[in-house]
Structure 1
């Protein structure tokens, strides 16, 4: 028997509560520093571990969100096949091949991660509003995107602390501006849904990169590349 949209939402809420509770136990095990002095008391490994847990948690939420959106708003229009994967962060010198990532200096990887996180500040603001306005939006989807927005900011602060600790005096790179607001606000439903689908796919891809980069930098800094 096929579940109605409201029944699906109810089922997904229960599933989300269970899965996110398990992940959140790890995230809250080391609370985020609210002051510089408190952060300085944490070891470098503790900073890395906490940042990686937040990044993995955010990546998991983003994956759920992207799949949920495509299933309920984009599946019938074949957006996955049409998705051009053009992201506003494409201009950043991100690395896809594992060997290249491992050979990149830790300060450069940290700067790229910080730029990625900064580049999502405004898109996430508008993504929250757009998802909230979607007709038939499941409450779980909205709660996820709000949490991703919050975690992106937390992760940004964690990565900045790591950069300062590992490379004192290092200057952050510029980050690319997002120019997709017109499509996200489009009155044309197809254009609107495609813009949101593409934005979620880009967000998912960038979150995955941050997780990978963080793990590589931790290996470089904490374990001297012996991982």
Structure 2
């Protein structure tokens, strides 16, 4: 007498059950919003808005860097502080190389990036963008009291701050729409140069502003990349 597992019909039935289970499991892992066209369209539109805001921040940051820092360096602004440079080499190196937001930057290459769950990915991106809320707010405030800063620089800084807030709002909205039962924990890292930007010593203050501007120029490239990647992963739109 043959065992049930050896019967061809039973084997076919068992295979069909397993395949149906895998298909159900895959479908269950796709957020309900993405399976609903009426919900999907606003999500795609918000991703597009977020990307456009990131591009705007990118352009504005380049303008601020060129108009503010290049003019300061080219006019010999740091010459008066040349005696301090040897004593503060470590601080200058940190200002040019260290970014407080790095710890919240999602992976962008390798196995970890490939296997990264979209829900956690979006959470990290929200914290990555949110890392700039306090520094930008402080930048706008301090630029108002620096005497030799033009109105153009004020305007650019205001626009960067405004667009960063709107970008963060867009990403939060996407999260609540795609993962309505998900829990969003905001863990914005502290900007280490915050105390220096409040300094009455122009050298320290400018160093802090340079750190912020330099890091934002680097981070916005990652932000654009992450938004494009998440848009593709979550909506299957805009995939290269």
CA 1:130–1:213: 2 relative to 1, 3 Å: same
Q: CA deviation at 1:52?
A: 0.9
- 1:217 paired residue number: 230
- Give the conservation status (yes or no) of the 8 Å contact 1:113–1:210: yes
CA deviations over 1:22-75 (Å, ceiling 9, x no partner) = xxxxxxxxxxxxxxxxx9695321121111111111121112212322212245
**Count of residues in correspondence between the two structures:** 188
- Displacement of 1:118 in angstroms is 2.1
**Shift in alpha-carbon separation, 1:99–1:50, aligned structure 2, 3 A:** farther
Whole-angstrom distance in 2 between the partners of 1:55 and 1:194: 25
Match of 1:7 in 2: none
> Structure 1: how far apart are the matches of 2:141 and 2:40?
38
Report the Cα distance in structure 2 between the residues aligned to 1:132 and 1:71, rounded to whole angstroms.
Answer: 20
- TM-score, structure 2 as length reference: 0.68
Of structures 1 and 2, the larger Rg is shown by 2
After TM superposition, the structure 1 stretch with the greater mean CA deviation from structure 2, 182-191 or 67-76, is 67-76
> Is the CA contact 2:104–2:125 (under 8 Å) kept in the aligned structure 1?
no
**Higher helix content, 1 or 2:** 2
Q: State whether residues 228 and 238 of structure 2, in contact with CA within 8 Å, keep that contact through their aligned partners in structure 1.
A: no
The aligned counterpart of 1:89 is 101
Q: What CA RMSD, in Å, does the superposition of the two structures yield over aligned residues?
A: 2.8
Which residue of structure 1 lines up, in the alignment, with residue 209 of structure 2?
A: 196
TM-score, reference length from structure 1: 0.72
Q: Structure 1: which 4+ aligned runs deviate by more than 4 Å?
A: 39-42, 98-103
Q: Which of 152, 155, 158 matches 1:143?
A: 155
Contact 1:48–1:214 (8 Å) recurs in 2: yes
Deviation at residue 210 of structure 1 after TM alignment: 1.4
